[in-house]
Structure 1
Amino acid sequence: MITTHVRRLAAPLVAVLVGALLVAAPAPAQAAGGRYAADIRRTEYGIPHILAKDHGGLGYGYGYAFAQDNLCVMASWALTLRGERSRYFGAEAMSDDAIDPISNLASDVYYKSVQASGVLRRVLARSAPHGPSAELRALVDGYVAGFNRYLRDTGVARLPDPACRGKEWVGPITATDVWMNLLDLGRLGGSSSFKEAIAASGHAQEMEKESDQPKRKVPPKTVTAPGSNAYALGHQATRDGHGMLLADPHFPWNGSRRFYQVHLTIPGVFDVSGGSLYGTPVVQIGHNASVAWTHTVSHAQRFTLYQLKLVPGQRTTYLVDGRPEPMGRQEVSVTVRDAQGATRAVTTTLYTSRYGPVLASGWTEETAIALADVNAANLRFADEWLAMGTARDLAALRRAQDTYQGMPFVYTLAADAGGEAYFADASVVPHVTDEQAERCRAKDDPEMLILDGSTSACLWGKDADALEPGIFGPAAQPRLTRTDYVTNANASPWLTNPNAPLTQYPRIYGDTRTERDLRTRVGLDMIAQRLSGDDGLGAPGFTLETLQQTATGKRNLGAELLRPDLRALCRAKPVMTASDGEKVDVRRACATLAAWDGRARLSSRGAILWREFFLGLNGPQRRPDGAVVPPKSWWKVPFDAEHPLTTPRGLDIANPAVATALANAVQVFTAHDLPLTLTPGQAQRYGAVPVPGCTEGEGCFDRIRTGGSLSKKGRYPDVNTGSSFLMAVELTPTGPRTRTVLTYSLSANSASPHHADQTELFSRGQWVAERFTEAEIKAYPGLATRSLR
């Protein structure tokens, strides 16, 4: 039975299955009767409030509004999802995936293979909760019709965004594009991070068959998904006894993984405001009148690798329980345009197993590696978000999660008007118990779990309360409900609330009693200081205003923990030796760091010098002879599992790497004639707007990340990731009070008035007072309404 269950799961999971026919893209979808109606009302900063009488109309208004602001991004992403980038932009150019860009050819092969596998067709053929509900289908069809209505009304040649105006690759989208976008979102923590290895499997098999090179090992694969911060506050943590929520997702600032701010209303049925990822017609992070929720990226694994034992002399046949199984073969054809504009077809053969696609990495004469992705056939999360949007309290929200069991790769944190706070890893996780992980481990790889694929005893298991075979059911999930608080900053569930540590969950969900990163620690310390009143923001307990101030305080925990010892080193050694042996006078630098306010505000003088020192301290060290050695621990007090919130701490100034890192940083500033007082406002930008903040590694809460190193002119490349949709909600008995800021603004169109207006707010530390009720919306003096019929 286990074999049968997992085979049923594995078949739709596979990104690459046997099948030669591509799924044809259907014509743009229409609702029954072809009739939709919606009102688009825009308030401050262009924020759209969509009003409709049914889900089809709601999608119609949403699709139209989104196209007004971001049509070019979606048009480009649709090409990616169809596997058509090489046709228009060439095979070697990089794809538009903001999280994991790869060559267009590799991207196209991967996405064509997903289409050809038939996985989407099979999922759409299922009824809810396994497949989409009628409401979700209507929402998607309406969204497509609204998007295409705007394109038809405007015309490609008259689009306001110069990025795609008049381009041959711009055209209507289809329902398949939207469903593929949702499917791809679910795979973000699994298959999507292995696109290159999947797309190259056939090539690798042929090359290694003919090669005399040593056998390759599977390289460590770090699945890089966006991060986030979140607080859910119960009545014991708030000054007025109201439930409160802070959402601070850290997603890309460019491309298809940006948030779009929207308010969706069907009177008496659905009323949700929040952030929705591009091209998805549902709100992922938001609130209704009495419940608010957000997500952070979970530590749980979304996939397992299986090591296949190959039949001697047969590199595409493997053994299971001693019986040979041939790998599946899939021919994928991609149209490629060359530099002269001519097109040709490039055909690639891909391979799959009962577990999932076979990867290019690790394929030898004896073994191969296959990927089993628990989210490869999951669209349930879209209905789960719709159901969460109608929840009136946390009990109803939990029922929604138990019904659909579809969260793809995120924790859920929520609060309600009754003053309760909730945390759960209700995400989809492969059913691998601790006992099975140890029994089936094929090799000792600290980076990921590689199971023995030669025995059916290592297939994923099943829980009685699980909606689908192969996943853990709700009873196994780490969950915590409190009346004070729960929080997460992408760490494992262990210290969601240090007063009630979570420990009883399978290790595939995450670790316990291990060192917490500095962002997690500073987030917990911010809560502790607010509850004690020691943060200088007034009486203990959160209000909406102090929640905003706490979230954007720009603390740098690394500096708080290390600067006192660095001052002692500065007093003892005013001249330090750089990696190249040069003697560097660090007295001015030490004075700058001593005078720095310890924050990452626009005007914080010395914050960039600290960052360069800190990055150097954490990076590989270069000795005077040129040899590069890995960094050694420079903490004075090591991590202690009994004191996880206060260790490690202190700077081991006896470690020579500390002085070297400071000397190196000063050397760079001096060589390029950069002021040691360089501020974030001078060094960090998003377009023309200066951006405050510091990096996650330094111990910053609302962190930012730039695309590279500090230049000789004292500038980092533009910010490309970080706090994206900040939302602070107070759930009062009379309705929600909400403050938001969309850090990169509503529109990717550089010609739009809403291209950088909220970015400027974020730069100044300001927020938008959300308009949620009808009275609030109608009270906006500049209200603009577009009625679509």
Structure 2
Amino acid sequence: MKLILRLAMVLALAAAGVVPAEAPALADDGRYTAEIRRTEYGIPHVSARDYGGLGFGYGYAFAQDNLCVLASWVVTLRGERSRHFGPQAQSDDPAGPVANLVSDVYYKSVADSGVVARLLAQPAPVGPGQELRGLVDGYVAGYNRYLEETGVANLPDPTCRGKSWVGPITATDLWNNLLDLNRMSSGARFKEEIVGESAAEGPRRRIAAGSNAWALGRAATRDGGGMLLADPHFPWNGIRRFYQVQLTIPGVLDVSGGSLYGTPVVQIGHNATMAWTHTVSHAQRFTLYRLDLVAGDPTSYRVDGGTEPMGRQEVQVTLRDGTVAGRTLYTSRYGPVLAAGRTGEVAYALADANAANLRAADEWLAMARAKDLTQLRAAQDRYQGMAFVHTLATDVGGSASFADASVVPHVTDAQAERCAKPSPVPGLEEYVLDGSTSACLWGRDGDAVVPGIFGPAAQPRLTRADYVANSNNTFWMTNPAAPLTGYARVWGKARTEPGPRPRVSLDMIARRLSGADGLGAPGFTLETLQATSASKRNHTFELMRRDLLALCRTSTELATASGERVDVRAACATLRDWDGRATLDGEGAILWREFFTRLGRPTRPGDPVYSPWRVPFDPERPLSTPRGLKRDDPVVRQALAEAVFSFQSRGIPLTLTPGQAQRYSAIPIPGCTEGEGCFDRVRMRGPLGADGRYPEVDTGSSFMMAVDLTRGGPRTRTILTYSLSANPESPHHTDQTALFSRGGWVTERFTEAEIAADPQLKKITVSGARD
């Protein structure tokens, strides 16, 4: 009876438009219960009466599709890969694989540090809220329930069927996954440097940025509501894939979108009145501190004239043959001490702003409940947990918002200059600070949820009635009509070259708003939003085409660096006839790529990167410079000769198309690469082969979502480019990939009526005991 009364109360409050910022979880009857409904392409719609049940249904549904991926990642998080797969094999980290032994030492050191336990002992917002704890516990129970019912020997995915490393997971595994996600562009990038396996390379600065995002306001849309385009560029394999899901607790939560594997919340999505997405930010997530070591004692360092001993952590990893490998790691008041750059006199410590950040998942959950941008901003200000991303959002009222509401170390420009020390890594000079004085510790804002980071008042933000956009450029050109400036350099730099992909993104919006793109009357509709985002434009070709064709008119034969004479007439004809779009049948798209990528390659190690632009970048004209091609420069002419020779010498047709050269699971993939200035970005880890093919696509548009927030409810189109299931034997392993290949989208089913109307609808109810 109490459960019924509480449910009635929550439903009544929801009907009145009153939903608490953190709606209380409903009382339970000792069991998790959830309904899983699957619509076209296997997309799950999970509903339950409380957060624990919702997590249970989600964990069960996810395990049905992708248990093997999470099972492997749990082995990683526990530091047990060397035991099962050998110490030298590569780990399963899709963002930066390392040797299993390195991975194991790193993750065991994180687990042994006790950081997760300390965070779980704290109340929200520093520690997780009760709703999120319920989701995590339920998710684990649902995953384990599916595994128990199915049995390891009978798993549908041959990747892990019958494997000894598959077993139940724990809530600690999921919390560790959430922590590792937040460290992805900071501490987790330093595994080798912390462990000491490749100290000579020096620390990596950041992951390769990817993603496009548009939030359109009432002045940019035909019907005056808000619209959103989400186009994250995350890995196509492994734990950083998106899973498409709808999560519903009647009257409390109803959110649909993309959720990263092993997380119980939606990261990019929408509800009935609000939609949001993310792109990777240029802001700094860490600093290095240079430690002055004590003479004769390399495990002590000086601070404020005194001496501090380093902390010592002994880590042991079991290998495949049963033996144990040990490593000694050191820590400082700033964070782990790196092996990289260490001498007898100095060492470097990593200070990571996300080292103890579990707040992002609570923030995503609160954003999913937000009814408008005001409530979304309140969620951001409360939790301050976005680890490395911008947030772009819009609501049914037609406002569009941008914020770099991410976790950024509190380092002012003055402090960065005053505390600067030599760096072990070129390009990181601004953020190597003096560790010998507490005056160089990170500062604190009064509105910051934890010490050492900038608070909300310091964040770059912009709200507009027309649009905000980002394609991994800095905050500066969020909207060219209102450039953002005046922020500390640690957020990224203003008045710097946006890059070809951000430029083509802004040009696509401008042409749609003026009607100059050939798609009809000015302004966005859901249909023109889809068409614009899938235009496959190659912006560097557009900016250089005139000069390239002028070069071709005066040159029929060019020479390579080794002196081969190359007839370029057929190649020039191919490029002349190409429309500049990286469609499946774009003859000339691959030839252009092979030519353009040669333009920036240094001829000898240590040589500066060559700029082929005829008109250099001018910060006063950021959207029209750089442009043109140095058509008379010997470097340009040689690059064209070598590109053509590489085709001719291997018998590859000059008309090679993306559909012939790019594949994922044997399906042709359109699009072009980051450097070419392509909104439709793809990446392959390796050069064009003698067979006219690149290695498999491993990164690019991943979960694309176009949302029109109307007064009658959201109209949404989605495409999960690599499909819902990593299981090669699943019917949903490549079904959306084939749809993406031919330019299709999925019409989302969000309302009860839309879900019920699916002729392919399948329903199950799952339940299990609560611990």
State TM-score, norm by structure 1.
Answer: 0.92
1:621, CA displacement in angstroms? 2.8
Which residue type is aligned with residue 590 of structure 1? C
Which residue matches 2:495? 513
Which residue type is aligned with residue 198 of structure 1? I
Which residue matches 1:294? 277
Which residue type is aligned with residue 645 of structure 1? L
**CA deviation map 1:350-373 (0-9, x unaligned):** 001000000111100110000000
For 1:435 and 1:618, locate their aligned partners in 2 and report how far apart those are by CA, in whole Å. Answer: 34
Q: Which runs of 4+ in 1 moved over 6 A?
A: none
**CA deviation map 1:75-116 (0-9, x unaligned):** 000000000000000000000000100000000000000011
Match of 2:65 among 64, 69, 94: 69
The answer to whether residue 741 in structure 2 is matched with residue 766 in structure 1 is no
User: Superposition pairs for residues 263-662 of structure 1, below 5 Å?
Assistant: 263-337=246-320, 342-443=321-422, 445-448=426-429, 449-621=431-603, 629-662=607-640
For 2:178 and 2:208, locate their aligned partners in 1 and report how far apart those are by CA, in whole Å. Answer: 16
For 1:383 and 1:291, locate their aligned partners in 2 and report how far apart those are by CA, in whole Å. Answer: 17
User: Superposition pairs for residues 722-761 of structure 1, below 5 Å?
Assistant: 722-761=700-739
- Whether the aligned pair in 2 keeps the contact of 1:220 and 1:447 (CA below 8 Å) is no
For 1:262 and 1:313, locate their aligned partners in 2 and report how far apart those are by CA, in whole Å. Answer: 58
Which residue type is aligned with residue 394 of structure 2? A
- Whether the aligned pair in 1 keeps the contact of 2:174 and 2:263 (CA below 8 Å) is yes
Relative distance call for 1:32 and 1:779 in structure 2 (3 A) is closer
Query: How many percent identity over aligned positions?
Result: 68
1:225, CA displacement in angstroms? 4.7
The answer to whether residue 230 in structure 2 is matched with residue 247 in structure 1 is yes
1:516, CA displacement in angstroms? 1.2
- Whether the aligned pair in 1 keeps the contact of 2:45 and 2:246 (CA below 8 Å) is yes
Which residue type is aligned with residue 381 of structure 2? D
- Whether the aligned pair in 2 keeps the contact of 1:532 and 1:540 (CA below 8 Å) is yes
**CA deviation map 1:170-202 (0-9, x unaligned):** 10111011000000000011100001111228x
For 2:134 and 2:609, locate their aligned partners in 1 and report how far apart those are by CA, in whole Å. Answer: 55
1:563, CA displacement in angstroms? 1.3
Match of 1:114 among 103, 110, 117: 110
Gaps of 5+ in 2: 1-26
Specify the SS of the correspondent of 2:530: helix
Gaps of 5+ in 1: 1-30, 205-215
Which residue matches 1:43? 39
For 1:222 and 1:351, locate their aligned partners in 2 and report how far apart those are by CA, in whole Å. Answer: 21
1:634, CA displacement in angstroms? 1.6
Match of 1:261 among 233, 244, 256: 244
1:343, CA displacement in angstroms? 1.0
For 1:122 and 1:628, locate their aligned partners in 2 and report how far apart those are by CA, in whole Å. Answer: 46
**CA deviation map 1:318-340 (0-9, x unaligned):** 00011011111000010011xxx
The answer to whether residue 651 in structure 2 is matched with residue 670 in structure 1 is no
Which residue matches 1:782? 760
Specify the SS of the correspondent of 1:722: strand
For 2:31 and 2:462, locate their aligned partners in 1 and report how far apart those are by CA, in whole Å. Answer: 45
Which residue matches 2:16? none
The answer to whether residue 699 in structure 2 is matched with residue 721 in structure 1 is yes
- Whether the aligned pair in 1 keeps the contact of 2:410 and 2:442 (CA below 8 Å) is yes
For 2:324 and 2:422, locate their aligned partners in 1 and report how far apart those are by CA, in whole Å. Answer: 39
**CA deviation map 1:480-513 (0-9, x unaligned):** 0000000001111001001001102111001011
For 2:562 and 2:274, locate their aligned partners in 1 and report how far apart those are by CA, in whole Å. Answer: 58
1:654, CA displacement in angstroms? 2.0
Specify the SS of the correspondent of 1:619: coil
Relative distance call for 1:673 and 1:225 in structure 2 (3 A) is closer
**CA deviation map 1:195-245 (0-9, x unaligned):** 1111228x97xxxxxxxxxxx7x7362311551100000000011111000
1:446, CA displacement in angstroms? 2.8
The answer to whether residue 89 in structure 2 is matched with residue 93 in structure 1 is yes
For 1:312 and 1:138, locate their aligned partners in 2 and report how far apart those are by CA, in whole Å. Answer: 52
1:629, CA displacement in angstroms? 4.7
For 1:333 and 1:41, locate their aligned partners in 2 and report how far apart those are by CA, in whole Å. Answer: 45
Which residue matches 2:133? 137
Which residue type is aligned with residue 653 of structure 1? R
Which residue type is aligned with residue 447 of structure 1? L
**CA deviation map 1:670-722 (0-9, x unaligned):** 11111100000000000111000000100000200012110000000000000
For 2:419 and 2:403, locate their aligned partners in 1 and report how far apart those are by CA, in whole Å. Answer: 28
- Whether the aligned pair in 1 keeps the contact of 2:360 and 2:385 (CA below 8 Å) is yes
**CA deviation map 1:387-437 (0-9, x unaligned):** 001111100000000011111100000000000000000001000011111
Specify the SS of the correspondent of 1:664: helix
- Whether the aligned pair in 2 keeps the contact of 1:358 and 1:371 (CA below 8 Å) is yes
User: Superposition pairs for residues 101-250 of structure 1, below 5 Å?
Assistant: 101-200=97-196, 219=202, 221-250=204-233
For 2:650 and 2:608, locate their aligned partners in 1 and report how far apart those are by CA, in whole Å. Answer: 27
For 1:723 and 1:126, locate their aligned partners in 2 and report how far apart those are by CA, in whole Å. Answer: 37
- Whether the aligned pair in 2 keeps the contact of 1:189 and 1:225 (CA below 8 Å) is no
1:313, CA displacement in angstroms? 1.7
Match of 1:696 among 661, 674, 699: 674
Which residue matches 1:12? none
Which residue type is aligned with residue 227 of structure 1? G
Which residue type is aligned with residue 427 of structure 1? S
For 1:222 and 1:756, locate their aligned partners in 2 and report how far apart those are by CA, in whole Å. Answer: 34
1:518, CA displacement in angstroms? 0.4
Q: Once structures 1 and 2 are overlaid, which stretch shifts more, 251-260 or 563-572? A: 563-572
For 1:398 and 1:375, locate their aligned partners in 2 and report how far apart those are by CA, in whole Å. Answer: 20
State TM-score, norm by structure 2.
Answer: 0.94
1:573, CA displacement in angstroms? 1.3
**CA deviation map 1:261-290 (0-9, x unaligned):** 000000000000000000000000000000
Specify the SS of the correspondent of 2:376: helix
The count of aligned residue pairs is 738
Which residue type is aligned with residue 602 of structure 2? P
- Whether the aligned pair in 2 keeps the contact of 1:226 and 1:251 (CA below 8 Å) is no
For 1:124 and 1:742, locate their aligned partners in 2 and report how far apart those are by CA, in whole Å. Answer: 33
Specify the SS of the correspondent of 1:730: strand
Which residue type is aligned with residue 356 of structure 1? G
Specify the SS of the correspondent of 2:502: helix
For 2:475 and 2:731, locate their aligned partners in 1 and report how far apart those are by CA, in whole Å. Answer: 41
